[in-house]
Amino acid sequence: MNVLSNDEVDEIYQASLKILEETGVAFQQEDALTLFHKNGAQVDFEKSIVKFPSSLVEDLIKKVPKEYTLYHRDSEKRIDIADGTAHFQIGDYAGYILDYRTGERRRSTLKDLQNIIRLDDALDSFDLFEPPVMPLDVPSSMTQIKVVETMFKNTTKPSLMGLIIEPKEGRYILKMAEAVAGGEEALRKKPLMGILCQPTSPLIYAKEVIEKMNDCVRKGVPLSIIAAPTCGMTAPVTIAGWLTIGIAEVLAATVYAQLIAAKTPVVTGLATNVMNLRDGNLNIASPEAALCSAASIQIVHHLGLLGVAQGGTDSKIPSIQTGYEKMLSILYTLLAGAEVYGLATLDDWGTTAMEQHVIDAEIVEAIKRILQGIDVTPETLALDVIKEVGVGGSYLSHKHTFKNFRKEHWIPELSFRESWETLKRKNRKTIVDNAESKVAKILQDHRPEPLDKDVQKQLETITKEAEKELSAS
Amino acid sequence: MSERKVLQDLLKSITYYDEEAASAAAEKAVEEGVDSIEAIEHGVAIGLKKIGEDYERGEIFLPELMMGANAAQKALKILLENMPQGSDYRGQGRIVIGTVEGDIHDIGKNIVAAMLRANGFDIVDLGVDVSIQRFVDSVKKFKPDVLGMSALLTNTMPKQEEVIQALKRENVRDSVRVILGGVPVTEEWVKKIGADDLGKDAMDTIQKLKKICEINEI
| pLDDT tens string A175-217 | 999 999 999 999 999 999 999 999 999 999 999 999 999 999 9
The count of structural domains within chain A is 3
**Residues A190 and A235 occupy one common structural domain:** yes
Cis peptide before A202 (omega within 30 of 0): yes
Is residue B218's pLDDT more than 50?
no
Range of the domain at A32: 6-61
**Residues B25 and B123 occupy one common structural domain:** no
Which of the listed residues B23, B54, B81 is the one where a domain comes to its end?
B81
Q: Is residue B86 part of a domain?
A: no
Instruction: Compute the residue count for chain A.
Output: 473
**Residues B187 and B102 occupy one common structural domain:** yes
Q: Is residue B40 part of a domain?
A: yes
**Residues B69 and B99 occupy one common structural domain:** no
**Residues B65 and B103 occupy one common structural domain:** no
Supply the mean pLDDT for chain A: 94
**Residues A253 and A383 occupy one common structural domain:** no
Confidence class of residue B145 from pLDDT cuts 50, 70 and 90? very high
CA of A234: which chain B residue's CA is closest?
B107
Mean pLDDT for the stretch of residues A239-253: 98
Distance CA A379, CA B120 (A): 74
**Residues B140 and B35 occupy one common structural domain:** no
Is residue A52's pLDDT more than 90?
yes
- Cβ distance A278 to B61 less than 8 Å, yes or no, reads yes
Look at residue B215 in the predicted model and tell me its pLDDT: 60
Q: Is residue A473 part of a domain?
A: no
Tell me the pLDDT tens digit for each residue of B15-66.
Answer: 999 999 999 999 999 999 999 889 998 999 999 989 988 988 989 998 999 8
**Residues B104 and B183 occupy one common structural domain:** yes
**Residues B111 and B196 occupy one common structural domain:** yes
Number of separate helices (H) and strands (E) present in chain A: 18, 18
Look at residue A96 in the predicted model and tell me its pLDDT: 93
CATH code of the domain in which B110 resides: 3.40.50.280
Instruction: Compute the residue count for chain B.
Output: 218
- Cβ distance B63 to A232 less than 8 Å, yes or no, reads yes
Q: Distance, in angstroms, between A418 CA and closest chain B CA?
A: 42
User: With a CB-CB cutoff of 8 Å, which residues 91-120 of chain B face chain A?
Assistant: 107-108, 111
User: With a CB-CB cutoff of 8 Å, which residues 195-214 of chain B face chain A?
Assistant: 201-203
Number of Cα atoms under 13 Å in the Cβ half of residue A103: 1
Which of the listed residues B24, B49, B81 is the one where a domain comes to its end?
B81
B83 touches A at CB < 8 Å: no
A280 touches B at CB < 8 Å: yes
**Residues A112 and A163 occupy one common structural domain:** yes
Q: Is residue A217 part of a domain?
A: yes
Q: Is residue A424 part of a domain?
A: no
Mean pLDDT for the stretch of residues A412-432: 86
- Supply the pTM of this predicted model: 0.90
Best to test chain A binding among B59, B60, B67, B107 (most A CBs inside 10 Å)? B107
Percent pLDDT > 70 in chain A is 100
Look at residue A102 in the predicted model and tell me its pLDDT: 87
Q: Is residue A445 part of a domain?
A: no
**Residues B75 and B103 occupy one common structural domain:** no
Q: Is residue A103 part of a domain?
A: yes
Distance CA B90, CA B143 (A): 10
- Write b or e for each residue in A120-151: b if 16 or more Cβ atoms lie within 10 A of its Cβ, otherwise e: bbbbebbbbbbbbbbbbebeebbbbbbbbbbb
First vs last Cα of chain A: how many Å apart? 51
Is residue B216's pLDDT more than 70?
no
Confidence class of residue B217 from pLDDT cuts 50, 70 and 90? low
**Residues B53 and B108 occupy one common structural domain:** no
**Residues B107 and B209 occupy one common structural domain:** yes
Q: Is residue B87 part of a domain?
A: no
Give the A:B interface size as CB pairs under 8 Å.
Answer: 23
Tell me the pLDDT tens digit for each residue of B90-130.
Answer: 888 999 999 999 877 777 888 888 888 888 888 999 998 99
A238 touches B at CB < 8 Å: no
What are residue A146's phi and psi, to 5 degrees? Answer: -65, -35
Q: Is residue A460 part of a domain?
A: no
- Cβ distance A277 to B61 less than 8 Å, yes or no, reads yes
**Residues A281 and A153 occupy one common structural domain:** yes
Supply the mean pLDDT for chain B: 90
Percent pLDDT > 90 in chain A is 89
**Residues A289 and A174 occupy one common structural domain:** yes
Q: Is residue B43 part of a domain?
A: yes
Q: Is residue A122 part of a domain?
A: yes
Please report which residue ranges of A4-136 form alpha helices under DSSP H.
6-18, 30-38, 54-61, 110-122
The count of structural domains within chain B is 2
Q: Is residue A419 part of a domain?
A: no
Which of the listed residues B28, B56, B81 is the one where a domain comes to its end?
B81
CA of A140: which chain B residue's CA is closest?
B154
CATH code of the domain in which A148 resides: 3.20.20.480
**Residues A338 and A304 occupy one common structural domain:** yes
A143 touches B at CB < 8 Å: no
**Residues B120 and B194 occupy one common structural domain:** yes
Mean pLDDT for the stretch of residues A417-434: 85
Range of the domain at B213: 94-217
**Residues A76 and A57 occupy one common structural domain:** no
Tell me the pLDDT tens digit for each residue of A293-345.
Answer: 999 999 999 999 999 999 999 999 999 999 999 999 999 999 999 999 999 99
**Residues B67 and B108 occupy one common structural domain:** no
Q: Is residue B139 part of a domain?
A: yes
Closest of B106, B198, B73 to residue B209, by C-alpha? B198
Look at residue B105 in the predicted model and tell me its pLDDT: 77
- Write b or e for each residue in A286-320: b if 16 or more Cβ atoms lie within 10 A of its Cβ, otherwise e: bebbbbbbbbbbbbbbebebbbbbbbbbbbbbbee
**Residues A42 and A73 occupy one common structural domain:** no
First vs last Cα of chain B: how many Å apart? 39
Nearest to B62 among A140, A234, A278 (CB): A278
Are B97 and B126 spatial neighbours (Cβ–Cβ below 8 Å)?
yes
Distance CA A421, CA A413 (A): 18
Task: Give the H/E segment covering residue A283.
Answer: strand A282-283
- Cβ distance A278 to B108 less than 8 Å, yes or no, reads no
Is residue A229's pLDDT more than 80?
yes
Mean pLDDT for the stretch of residues A65-78: 92
Which of the listed residues A372, A391, A416 is the one where a domain comes to its end?
A372
